Amino acid sequence: MKIRLKDIAQMAHVSETTASLVLNDAPSRISEAKRQEIKKSQRNMAMFRILLPAVWQ
């Protein structure tokens, strides 16, 4: 199972559009704190996938 944008957005409590803008480094009015939260959610999802492979199959 892949990490989906939808999952990252839900974890960060933002819309998929907002998550996409941040992850693609698009210019936007999103605060630096929210940007960091979204990127942290992405890193956490990747870490869970590595540490818990049985969950992702």
> Looking at residue 53, what is its pLDDT?
67
**Is 3 in a helix, a strand, or coil?**
coil
Q: Work out the number of other CB atoms within 10 angstroms of the CB of residue 19.
A: 24
- For 16-46, how does the pLDDT look when each residue is reduced to its tens digit (9 = 90+)? 999 999 999 999 999 999 999 999 999 999 8
The structure tokens listed for 28 are 């936007």
Residue owning tokens 């480094």? 25
Whether residue 48 contacts residue 55, with contact meaning beta carbons closer than 8 Å, is answered with yes
